[in-house]
Amino acid sequence: MTEMVYGALPVQEREPVLPKWWQTLDKWTMTSILLLFGIGILLGMAASPPLAAKNGFEAFHYVKKQVIFGGAAMVAMLLTSMMSPILVRRLAVIGFIVTLLATAMLPFFGTDFGKGAVRWYSLGFGSLQPSEFLKPGFVVVAAWLMAANEEINGPPGRMWSFLLMITIVVMLALQPDFGQACLILFGWSVMYFVSGAPMVLIGGILLAIYPAAQFAYSNSEHFARRIDGFLDRSLDPTTQIGYATNAIREGGLFGVGVGEGQVKWSLPDAHTDFIISVAAEEYGLILVMVIIALYATIVLRSYFRLMRERDPFIRLAGTGLVSIFGVQAMVNMGVAVRLLPSKGMTLPFVSYGGSSLIAGGIAVGMILAFTRTRPQGEIGEILRGHVR
């Protein structure tokens, strides 16, 4: 009756979610991620059987677990990439609060699994490293605060993000986990720079790194041991770095052949921190260059898309996430060739590890969500408008 009097409400036609998502997605970045995951499975089949045999498991026990973790990571990535930036921010804030509390409780309920650093929760069927999930959450929250700082009568978001960053870095350093602490500091510094921070302040932060590193060296045996090993000119061939660098040297251009590598029998972390050594030894420099090209594709394409973004929050959050992703890959490979001290850092989507895979899937899903094309003018149009 109401419709007869007032007329029916017009039905708004909406574009289906999946086609719209596919049309706006950066397909080059998505393809690169899938290829990296596939390469990780391939290398896991080569690197993990020795460890499985040592622990009494079947040959491809860790490969099967990596497929399960990777599948969960891919689902998390796809679902996150379909979200709007506002929904990503809301969920990231919740996730950040949970993982921050989990990281704070590590000294009381965490374990080190005999590695000298309390970074994990033992779950019986596996382990959980909360700092992996803390990184993307922190980046989004810090970007939100910095973007709010630019608003008229906005809160002092830059200062709040700085205090938050310092708190997290100290918590991670006490584990000790200097690798993740450096990633958090680097990601925040990049976002702070992009948001328009004065160079004097950036320089002050860089200068403060030296006394902080000196303090860590004097008060942390774990940190001092890794720095001493890195600075020692004589490379012990029986250390992890010694095995890794020798494997890369032996691999040459085309590698020694699939399954013929020896480094996987000597390195306890061949399937995680030093997976690039297995790639270089068995498949040679060719595969290593392919891996580097895939990471470069993800980072550069994401940066180019973010450069055209008008929303300061999306621009800052995306830049921070991409920067951490790229630097983590660079650090992992740099350690293997002894350009950097050992950090205990995985190679994103290639190394074995449930926490790193799933957290990486969430982080890349955020990057894909932030770099999707939206109906907006490019930032260059705003700049040209000001000039006029």
The SS3 of residue 270 is coil
pLDDT of residue 376: 58
277 contacts 336 by C-beta, under 8 angstroms: yes
pLDDT of residue 133: 95
Contact partners, residue 348, CB within 8 Å, separation at least 6? 36, 295, 325, 328, 329, 356, 360
Q: What is the rounded CA–CA span in Å between residue 63 and residue 358?
A: 15
pLDDT along the chain (388 residues), means of 10: 47 66 92 95 88 85 92 95 95 96 91 80 84 95 93 87 94 87 92 83 75 74 67 62 80 83 78 87 93 97 93 95 96 86 84 91 96 67 47
pLDDT of residue 4: 46
pLDDT of residue 388: 45
Q: What is the rounded CA–CA span in Å between residue 315 and residue 267?
A: 40
Alpha helices in the chain (DSSP H): 2-6, 17-24, 27-47, 49-54, 61-81, 85-104, 106-109, 130-149, 157-173, 178-194, 199-219, 221-231, 240-251, 275-307, 312-336, 354-370, 379-387
Q: Which helix (H) or strand (E) holds 128?
A: strand 127-128
pLDDT of residue 377: 47
pLDDT of residue 382: 46
Written as six digits, the tokens of 245 are 């660098």
Handedness of CA 107, 272, 269, 139 (dihedral sign): negative
Q: What is the rounded CA–CA span in Å between residue 7 and residue 19?
A: 32
